[in-house]
Amino acid sequence: MDAILLEWGGLLIRWVHIITGIAWIGSSFYFMHIDASLKSAPDIPPGKGGEAWEVHGGGFYHVRKYLVAPDKLPDELIWHKWESYSTWASGFFLLVWVYYFSADLYLIDPAVRALSPWSAIGLGIGSLALGWVVYDRLVRSPLAKNEVALAAVGFAFIMGMAYFFQQMFSGRGALIHTGAMMGTIMSGNVAMNIIPNQKKVIAALIAGQTPDPDLGKQAKTRSRHNNYLTLPVLFLMISGHYPMTFTSPYAWIMVGFVLVAGASVRHFYNERHAGRGNLWWAWGLAAACIAAAIWLSMLSNPTGRQVLGLKRERAVKVAGSAGVPKAVDEILASRCSMCHARDPVWRGIVSPPKGVMFDSHAQIVQQRDLIRMQAVLTGAMPPNNITDMSIAERRTLAAWLAKQ
Ligand code: HEC
């Protein structure tokens, strides 16, 4: 496909995905907040719902919740399901567009596993389905009676899958599939449990029967799981833009830390909105987890040196200390400039990616920090080392950069 159309497609699908995601997460946070802040109402028996008053946009809203359902069904009901379905559909489309159409650039890293595009795509889609099946079985199993045990097994499963993806895909591909699998579980909850259960309740009411209260309880459990998964999923969705996450060999452990951090922050708000106080320790835990993830990202880089120990690179000899030495020039010309030039020669790339060009010494010096992040501190560039850059070449760049 024409490279410009490919870029535009990516931009437009991402735009839609972000909009639908905001709508879904926004409405889901909103209902969690209402649920937590319901007060008892005189005409609703305790444990069967409640009411809340809200003020917004110049008006007052009186929201009432009926568990399992009101005595008489209203004529019109507003459903909240398309936010979720359209977020999943646009996200899946974006995954196909970016990662499956350009599998060699984004999904497959021959140094990890030399998969053919079709087997990589099959593996990716298969794991999304597998994630849902395993989660759904877990929630229906006797284990689910114990919430802590279920959370521990679910946590181990997600980390295990992140590790598995890291053995199969590029770093970016691994993190995006971990996030996509969790997002699929969340949307699966809406499509396969929450909405069908709601429909069963309505059908029972119309038939004049008493609906099974367990249906509502199941839906609430699934919706709570979604709530705790939301923040970690968002992190994983944007992590592909930050090489210090996706190029780290410890990325799967970072996933674990991010899961705990995101869930703690949600927990803080869930408890606060329910009037059970401010659990400040949840923020402390989240901060400790993020600090641990940052530390992990510093533990390794492609030159085989600890990032914090980069100063040692000064020992490597690079001719000339000012400007751009010939060795550096040659490395950039032979490993990067086929894509990063005003007129790239790499098939499928029509303009320099992200506007990064190495046509003149001035440009190279100006972009030295970007070069350091992409090719020395992390191995994000060349993408999946597609132009076979050697570790010695990265060290030469590091030595030059240390003098800048
Ligand atoms: C096969 C083509 C290709 C080669 C070779 C290549 N890059 Fe890139 N580069 C890309 C693409 C595609 C992107 C945009 C990545 C994205 O969308 O996140 C990019 C992005 C970048 C960025 C911007 C990152 C950002 O998000 O700000 C820098 C800096 C960079 N490359 C440096 C390099 C260096 C240094 C080399 C050589 C060691 C190199 N690239 C080799 C294709 C290439």
| Helix spans in 1-116 (H) | 3-37, 82-95, 103-106
Residue having the nearest C-alpha atom to atom 1 of ligand 1 = 339
Rounded mean pLDDT, 11-39: 94
**pLDDT at residue 1, as a whole number:** 65
How many other CB atoms are there within 10 angstroms of residue 38's CB atom? 17
Give, as one character, the DSSP assignment of residue 97. I
Task: Give per-residue pLDDT as tens, 227-280.
Answer: 999 999 999 999 999 988 998 889 999 999 999 999 999 999 999 988 999 999
**How far does residue 62's CA lie from ligand 1's centre (Å)?**
53
371 lines ligand 1 (CB under 6 A): yes
Q: Taking the domains of the chain in order of start, what are their residue ranges? A: 3-297, 309-402
How many other CB atoms are there within 10 angstroms of residue 307's CB atom? 15
Rounded mean pLDDT, 187-200: 95
Q: Would you say 94 and 17 are in contact if contact means Cβ atoms under 8 Å apart?
A: yes
**What is the residue whose two structure tokens read 């969690």?**
32
- Phi, psi for 104 (deg, rounded to 5): -70, -30
Instruction: Tell me the percentage of the chain whose pLDDT exceeds 70.
Output: 95
Q: Is the pLDDT confidence value at 304 over 80?
A: no
**How far does residue 252's CA lie from ligand 1's centre (Å)?**
23
375 lines ligand 1 (CB under 6 A): yes
Using DSSP, state whether 185 is helix, strand or coil. helix
How many other CB atoms are there within 10 angstroms of residue 309's CB atom? 10
- Torsion sign over Cα 39, 282, 253, 373: positive
**pLDDT at residue 311, as a whole number:** 42
**pLDDT at residue 354, as a whole number:** 85
Rounded mean pLDDT, 62-87: 90
Rounded mean pLDDT, 112-130: 96
Cα separation, 50 vs 63, in Å, equals 9
Confidence of residue 309 (pLDDT cuts 50, 70, 90): very low
Cα separation, 384 vs 386, in Å, equals 5
Pocket test for ligand 1, best of 107, 172, 356 (most atoms within 8 A of CB): 356
86 lines ligand 1 (CB under 6 A): no
Task: Give per-residue pLDDT as tens, 342-372.
Answer: 888 988 787 888 889 999 998 899 899 899 9
**pLDDT at residue 73, as a whole number:** 86
Confidence of residue 20 (pLDDT cuts 50, 70, 90): very high
Rounded mean pLDDT, 278-306: 87
**How far does residue 383's CA lie from ligand 1's centre (Å)?**
7
How many other CB atoms are there within 10 angstroms of residue 259's CB atom? 26
**How far does residue 285's CA lie from ligand 1's centre (Å)?**
35
Pocket test for ligand 1, best of 339, 369, 371, 395 (most atoms within 8 A of CB): 339
Q: Which residues pair with 49 in a beta bridge?
A: 66
Distant-in-sequence, close-in-space partners of 94: CB < 8 Å, separation ≥ 6: 10, 13, 14, 17
Cα separation, 49 vs 205, in Å, equals 17
Residue having the nearest C-alpha atom to atom 29 of ligand 1 = 370
Distant-in-sequence, close-in-space partners of 378: CB < 8 Å, separation ≥ 6: 243, 244, 247, 248, 301, 302
Rounded mean pLDDT, 288-315: 69
347 lines ligand 1 (CB under 6 A): no
Confidence of residue 211 (pLDDT cuts 50, 70, 90): confident
**pLDDT at residue 15, as a whole number:** 98
Q: Would you say 252 and 159 are in contact if contact means Cβ atoms under 8 Å apart?
A: yes
335 lines ligand 1 (CB under 6 A): yes
**How far does residue 255's CA lie from ligand 1's centre (Å)?**
24
Q: Is the pLDDT confidence value at 321 over 80?
A: no
Distant-in-sequence, close-in-space partners of 257: CB < 8 Å, separation ≥ 6: 289, 290, 292, 293, 296
pTM (predicted TM-score): 0.84
Among 197-206, 318-327, 341-350, which stretch is predicted with the lowest mean pLDDT?
Answer: 318-327
Q: Which residues pair with 54 in a beta bridge?
A: 61
Q: Is the pLDDT confidence value at 190 over 80?
A: yes
